[in-house]
Amino acid sequence: MLHQITIDDLHEMVDALTTALDAKNSYMCGHSERVAMLSLLLANTMGLSPAEQTRIHIGAHLHDIGKIGIPDVILNKQGKLTDDEFNIIRQHPAIGDNIVGKLKLFHSVADIVRHHHERFDGKGYPDGLRGHDISLGARIVAVADAFDAMTSARAYRTAFTLSQAIAEAQRCQGTQFDPDIVAILVDLSTKNKLISSGGGEIRSLVATA
């Protein structure tokens, strides 16, 4: 007889899925975990309920799961993507939504998986949502995702410093990002709650409460 699924069981399933994703791309290794950590810190600082914090944390872990369906030759390309390749990459939120939609346990995080690349000005993808039509969880993960991407090295650029990443987030508030969430990110940085630390070729983001 199957036992009742606990939150620990849920996290084990999430870890298994994200480990499979990390195995596809060296630059992705640890990304989902760091995005989940920062998303949880943002949600906690905003005073969201424990249940909503948990939902956002799990959704952040799974936000890029659709990249499992993207060809390795594109994910692992050493250099900038062509327009055609980028259009293929842009399919990953919808692919991820389809994946989590197969499991009832993950239905509650489908909005985060599908909409973490929507923009506050409506110019994002896949659905072109804008402002508060984008769920709060997806808006939080969008900031955390971009911030970790900026503070991680890529084949075509070095990692941003913490101050550079904060400045870029501020530049994009109201267009790419929810300005209220960027303000919280800036406040956390001012209070030294965000630490950009080197680690091999990849610069990691570590969020500490």
Predicted confidence (pLDDT) per residue in 111-156, tens digit: 999 999 999 999 999 999 999 999 999 999 999 999 998 998 776 6
Range of the domain at 174: 7-204
CATH code of 118's domain: 1.10.3210.10
Distance separating alpha carbons of residues 10 and 4, to the nearest angstrom: 11
The verdict on residue 145 lying in a domain is yes
The verdict on residue 196 lying in a domain is yes
Residue 126's pLDDT is 98
Q: Is 193 a catalytic residue?
A: no
pTM: predicted TM-score of the whole model, two decimal places: 0.87
The verdict on residue 209 lying in a domain is no
The verdict on residue 2 lying in a domain is no
| Average pLDDT of the residues in 71-89 | 89
The verdict on residue 137 lying in a domain is yes
Domains contained in the chain, number: 1
The verdict on residue 1 lying in a domain is no
Instruction: Check residues 138 and 79 and name the one with the higher pLDDT.
Output: 138
Instruction: Check residues 6 and 59 and name the one with the higher pLDDT.
Output: 59
Annotated catalytic residue, options 24, 67, 80, 104 = 67
Please check the confidence at residue 208 and state whether its pLDDT lies above 60. Answer: no
The verdict on residue 84 lying in a domain is yes
